[in-house]
Structure 1
Amino acid sequence: MAAIALKRIRKSYGDLQVIHDIDIDIDSGEFVVLVGPSGCGKSTLLRMIAGLEEISGGDLDIGGARVNALSPAERDIAMVFQDYALYPHMTVEDNMSFGLKMRGTSEAEINKRVANAADILKITDFLHRRPAQLSGGQRQRVAMGRAIVREPAAFLFDEPLSNLDASLRVEMRLEIAKLHNRMKATTVYVTHDQVEAMTLADRIVVMNSGVVEQIGKPLDLYHKPASLFVARFIGSPTMNTIETTAARGDAITILGRTIDLPGAPLPEGGAVTFGIRPEDLVRCPVDEAWFSGEVAVAERLGSQTYCYVEIGHTRMLTVELPRDAEISAGERISLRGNARAVHLFDTRTGKRLN
């Protein structure tokens, strides 16, 4: 497997620049997920790695060699698309072996690779079926098998699970994780689903409007987001955020209540966005509360309960409670958090302060 290096990569369509000087180093065997909202440039960046989009500027190295001018076939990568891209008139076996036949690979080697990939993906019994006779999950396995048989330097996945229903997405996510653990292949995976990103990635690249907001391990991004954008994007439910001002160097005032945050480097009187995750809030007596309000909705999900609380702010406050919590809509609730779990951001720049 090969390392991939993106050095000041840019992409423009005429005068419109959509990818801005991106630097990413992907180690051999690493699983990196590109994540972000629709239109952030993640799929465009993946297609540039694949050779399906021209690179407007910068250098792309695969296995230590510059590949900017190489065609997709010369880059030794395999791509799995969102829509499977299978040949409907061919059997599963023929779909998986077609690329190898075009390369002139021997029949014995083709049979060996197809059998091995089919065994890994548990599709041996489907080799003589056509794509129309398969479920969505089975078709995605075939698309993955077609990539595996090529034994490429790197695998690229472009939102491969977005066409599947919820239960199949979970199943296929586990299959992709198991496949990577078994093959240790260099993998670049694009998704807008941050749950996929958190569960699959060795590292996550969070993108926003063609730039990289933050690169890091999943839990590093969750516990210490570098910007307000990352804080709101990573985590489900999303982080609670409230715009306020710093009352002193170590305290902020939110909705008329002052919260002491010892050691927090706050700008005197500056615009600050306070953030806290739902699981870092707890119920408390009213005289100890940071926030008080009326429960608008209580979601009981079995393993936990989420409450959405009206606190007199433009956004409701989300709090995670134990699954057997006795709470109902219309009930008043008082909440406080742990000062060490508070995230603070400069409202103007969106950058992290603490």
Structure 2
Amino acid sequence: MILVLGWMPSGCTSRALKILTPVQLLKQLPQGTEVIQKPLMLLTKPEAKAPSHGGHSGSEVSAPLRMTHGVPVIDAHLNGVTIPLIIDTGCQPTLMVDPESAVRASVLVVKPAQGSLVLEGTLGEEDALLGRVQQLSLTDWRIEGPLCLIRSQQTYMAGLFQRRKLPLNLFGMALPLHACSYMTIDYPHERVVFGFHQHYQPVKNRHVWSVPMILRDGLPHVRLRHGGVRWEAVIDTGANPTMTITPEIAQQCGAMSSLSQVDGYRLGIGVMSGLKDRDKLQRVVLHRIQGLGPELSHVPATIANFTPRVGSGLLRHYRVTLDFKRQLLWLEEEGLKEQGDPAS
């Protein structure tokens, strides 16, 4: 299981401090009585495929979002408590919350029958607990009893005079993938839309592109190319760079001549084994990227040693729809179509 938030802007620092151990967290939270034999399977395959819409007509549910540190965030209600969630299409489970948010929302702990859960992220590994939320509410969409992962770490961001806590609570792909026909992250209009029981229809009077979307390991992928070099990348709204690629892809694309250092730090899930590489972010420029629909030129790409990703730094210019029924990725841009414009 890979849980990746991605890179954060310049001025941020990675401080994954263990403020509550799993044992301490178990003492603070109400003890759950249910024993889950295969917690990871249940996390990635929710039992309820048609959750209650709370009196809504059932075709769509929408909620406002805001951009925080370059990623989309919505205010959800966990057991009636408002908790900010990053909409993270690069995260497999439905929910992941930090220990402080779990305590605030009185999330029940479900003890796995064997062993412990380990999250693997951009910074390394960290332990986790399996929890169950009595009710998750996203405006009119109410989901009863979803499972979640409870982090053992709290993340901090450096400030001018003192550090401050940075909630890393993620709303991932498992529930939308199994309960929705599509999910739209409308960056320009700051809305997220969950569609049910119908095909997605793009908005009229816009530039519209659609490309095949590969669903693998519970995450959306697209095939990209730069000249004769081809690779697959995760569509990751929880990462704020424009794009990340491996050093090998950068080399094959002939982009190493544009290599530059980037001010900033990695910030995400996991505990770093050392601090020596914290300030060594590198970026290259890809002259032409194809595979997303619109042809993109001079695309900055951060070099990282994990699965390539297309992040919110690029997606924020579009209305982005993951069409699960037809396995398509839609990108829409404001403006009237003109003859010869790309279209679906």
- Using the size of structure 2 for normalisation, the TM-score is 0.29
The structure richer in helix per residue is: 1
- Using the size of structure 1 for normalisation, the TM-score is 0.28
The structure richer in strand per residue is: 2
